[in-house]
Structure formats: structure tokens, C-alpha cells
Amino acid sequence: MTLRLPLSFLLAVVIASSALAAEPSPSATSPTNPLGGKAGSEKVAPGQPRVISWEELVPKDWDPMKELKGMDLSKLDDSDPRANELLMKLQDVSNNAPTNTAMNGVEVKIPGFIVPLEENKGEVTEFLLVPYFGACIHTPPPPANQILHVRPKQGAKFRAMDTVWVTGKLQTLRNDSMMGVSGYHITADSVTKYTGGAK
């Protein structure tokens, strides 16, 4: 089944993603900026995961707006065949968004929102982690480089859109699910309630 999304929704997602790609390298998340900071760097204690922000998952040279350059979008509405063609291109760009290969194999800790894929006995055993509330459920999925496919080592007692910290080794591994295409995978050592701090 192919999901038809309004052009305006998908454009909003791609524009938000291009803002991520254009930003300078961010610092780790912090209690005062829980879902991502900008500039600076922090030392990681040996044996501890690196607290990362979502911006670090986007390659610096990725330009999702490349397909829109030179187009006058004000002349398109959702019923225009050219809008449908553009929509298909943008969905392809989003689903095939490149990952940051430098993050492959890094032990990380990242906050986000749960989109359940599988549950067993009241526990989530497989889910997508997304950077903003409603992604994949109430709004179109973010680009693949902004979705993590998570399999906790132990089931997690959380519900859809609960905010959590996920800790584990990050892999650049694509996964297609009915809720979205993810560019990263984590076999999570822990999934804990987000409390506002990385500790």
C-alpha cells in the first residue's frame, strides 16, 4: 500500500531536515537543551556512552532541498500532476536520506519519542525512535537519517510517544517498517524514562 501524503506536509519535513543539515556540528544534549545543542564538544568518560543530538545523525553535506531548487512551488496544489511527481521525488529523498557513517559503531545515548512496532505482554520489544512528538503517527515520517530502529535487550514498559533515553551501539543499518524507513539501528542496552538530564 502506498501512502499519499499532502505535498505541504512532506515539504515541511524536508525543509526541517535541510535546516538540520545546514547547522554547524552540535554539542551533546544537555539538561537545558534536551533534544540537541549547537557547537562545542564534551569529553566522554571511558566506558560511557556519548550523549548525542539528532543533528549529529545528518551528514553535513546532505542537501534535501536540491530537488526543489529553481521551482516555483506557489503554482502547485495537491491536485496538480506535477505536485504528485514532486511528492514522489521528495518521498524518495526522505526514505533514502544518507546516514553519518562516522556514527557507525559509536556507543550513544539519545533522547526521543517512541513509535511502537512490536509489543509482548505489555512491553515494547521493537520501536522507532523519532526526534519530535507525532512523527510517523500524526505527521509524515522524518527522513531516514532522523529515525532509529530500536530493539531493546529487555522489553520496555512504555507507550506510543513516550519520551525516553535510549543507550546502545549505533549502527548505520536501514530498516523499512510500516511506520517509516530508518537509517540507523540500536540494540538498546537500556531504554529509560526521559527526565530532562543525561545522567
3-class state of residue 39 by DSSP: coil
Read off the pLDDT of each residue in 35-46 and give the average, rounded to a whole number.
52
Domains assigned to the chain: 1-199 (2.40.50.870)
Residue 1: pLDDT above 50? no
100-157 pLDDT, tens digit each: 999 999 999 999 999 999 999 999 999 999 999 988 888 889 999 999 999 999 999 9
* From 87-91, 100-104, 109-113, 182-186, the region with the lowest mean pLDDT: 87-91
The one-letter amino acid code at 85 reads: E
Distances in Å between the alpha carbon of 35 and those of 26, 53, 85, 110, 131? Answer: 11, 6, 34, 8, 7
pTM: 0.77
